[in-house]
Structure formats: C-alpha cells, structure tokens
C-alpha cells in the first residue's frame, strides 16, 4: 500500500513537470549546517561588495523554519531558460536569462499554481513561494534535493542539462519523501576559473561577488572601477562566461517557455544600436525584462565603459 507521503510526493513532482519545471527535488527543512561557516566566511571577506542585503537575515538564510511556521519540506524546482537563438556575436551582450520576460514573475505564477494544486489535492497546507526574493540559499537547497551539485563557478550543475536554469522553492508545512544529494562531477576541470575575465572565481567553489561582471553591471550603483576597463568582454548586463565554457552545458536543451523568448529587436541589435538606445526604445524592448533593473541610465553607463 502506498503511504500518503509517497503519494503526495509523486503528485507534487508530476504537477511540477506539467507546469513546465525541468525538475523537482525535495529536502527536509532545517538548519543548513555545512553552509553556515561558508556564508559567514564569504561575508567576512566582504565578497558581497555593495550587496549589503546579503548580510541581513543571516539566521533565516540558513534555516527555512524561520521563514515559514512549522516548515517541514523545501520543494526545489528548476526552470530552463536556455534560448534557441542568441544575440548577434558582434554586439554588446546581455545574460541569456534576461532575454525574455523577468523570471521572477514567470516563476512566481507557476509556484502559485503549484501551491494551489497542493492545497486542492492534499488539503490544508501552508507554504510560501520563493524566487530570489527572500533570504533563501537556493543553490544549497537544490543541491541537497539532488537536483545537481554546486560547481567550481558556484552555479548549480547537472549532467543532463548543464546550468542554464532558474532555481525556485516552495517551503511547506507538509511531510514528504526526501531526495538525496548527488555527487560532484567537476573533476579536475578548471575551465570556468581559467575563463573568468575578471578573475572573480578566486578558488574552486568560491566566487568573489565583488569582482564579478554581473555584480559590476547590475548591482553596483557607483561608477565602474577603472582597473576593470577592458576586462568586460562586451558584457553590458550580467555575464555568462563561466557557464558558456562549462563542458556540462554542451547538454543544454532549448527552453519551451514562450515568455522567455527574446524580443526580436534584441537579437539583431548591433553595437551602434546599443550605443544609441533611447529611453523609449529601452522601455519598449525591456518592458518586461530583468534588464529594467539597471534602468536606461545604468545600461548607458555600462555601454560607455565598454566603448
């Protein structure tokens, strides 16, 4: 006879797949013992740069039971964003994750549907959905749930589809069957470390966020540091270098989420188009995109730095 835990777990995983998630793994909610000293050391070395929000809610980051009353399970989900077409290679570049609609909204909608499904099919279940929006260590939970391992570039990697996907969680007060962590398959490879244009991967598995092109082009609000001039390899928003060179990304599969398709104009943009982008064009092309975070002024700053 199937016990309820097993039945509910299967129901949730089947529905996650139906909603378009790449995979779904589940962990027991509790304190992340291994991650605590790592996070503390990373913050003490100020590798978060101006991302001061990383210092807030230290305890909550490590313990989801402080975020959701009586939390029992962390349901981790991956959503693929690998595009079918990429930007014109002669152009300034933006990270692939920002080609289409802002992932926060796309995933939040799917998570709401999944939580509603759980409440309808299983009964009174309380939970919260998280997409980068609260102090949750997404990659740690995804790895704990067997969805991949954290690679030397600090991204979650899988043998089946590489790393071009978003990670999200539902934290619920429901007991479920738990998955096991997988093994690390980086081996002796150092492709990401060798290729990082700003040497932000300071040691295997340690990324100094304050040296990363994504940090400079998105998070940093001040002027870009002159010592980085010439090192950005034409990245105007984010950077995909450590993922592009990762051998596991040979297995990336094209996403099937229409909302992640790029704005047609974006793919044909030349450097000249980027340099002359007006506020109106910016609003039209990036109306629903994560690129909005930099605002027109921030994007101009980045492009002027690349010229």
Catalytic annotation, residues: 132
Taking only Cα atoms into account, the Rg of the chain, rounded to an integer number of angstroms, comes to: 20
Bridge-based pairing of strands 93-94 and 235-237 is parallel
Query: ∠123-167-174 over CA atoms, to 5°?
Result: 20
Long-range contacts of 219-224 (CB under 8 A, 24+ apart): 219/49, 219/50, 219/51, 220/49, 220/50, 221/50, 221/298, 222/50, 223/301, 224/301, 224/302, 224/305
CB-neighbour burial class of residue 139 (10 A; exposed 0-12, middle 13-18, buried 19+):
buried
């Amino acid at each position: 006879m199937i016990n309820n835990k097993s039945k509910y777990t299967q129901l949730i995983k089947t529905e996650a797949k139906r909603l378009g998630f790449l995979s779904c793994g589940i962990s027991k909610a509790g304190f992340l013992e291994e991650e605590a000293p790592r996070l503390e050391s990373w913050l003490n070395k100020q590798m978060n740069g101006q991302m001061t929000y990383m210092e807030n809610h230290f305890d909550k980051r490590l313990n989801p039971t402080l975020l959701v009353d009586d939390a029992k399970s962390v349901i981790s989900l991956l959503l693929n964003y690998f595009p079918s077409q990429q930007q014109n290679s002669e152009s300034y570049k933006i990270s692939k994750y920002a080609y289409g609609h802002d992932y926060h909204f796309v995933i939040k909608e799917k998570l709401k549907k999944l939580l509603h499904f759980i409440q309808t099919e299983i009964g009174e279940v309380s939970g919260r959905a998280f997409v980068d929006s609260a102090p949750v260590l997404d990659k740690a939970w995804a790895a704990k749930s067997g969805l991949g391992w954290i690679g030397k570039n600090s991204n979650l990697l899988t043998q089946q589809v590489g790393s071009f996907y978003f990670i999200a969680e539902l934290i619920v007060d429901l007991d479920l069957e738990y998955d096991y962590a997988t093994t690390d398959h980086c081996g002796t490879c150092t492709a990401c470390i060798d290729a990082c244009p700003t040497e932000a991967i300071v040691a295997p598995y340690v990324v100094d966020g304050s040296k990363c092109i994504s940090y400079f082009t998105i998070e940093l609000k001040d002027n870009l540091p002159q010592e980085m001039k010439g090192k950005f390899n034409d990245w105007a928003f984010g950077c995909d270098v450590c993922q592009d060179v990762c051998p596991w990304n040979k297995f990336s599969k094209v996403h099937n989420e229409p909302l992640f398709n790029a704005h047609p104009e974006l793919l044909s943009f030349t450097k000249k188009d980027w340099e002359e982008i007006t506020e109106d064009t910016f609003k039209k092309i990036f109306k629903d995109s994560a690129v909005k975070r930099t605002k027109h002024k921030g994007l101009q700053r980045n492009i002027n730095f690349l010229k």
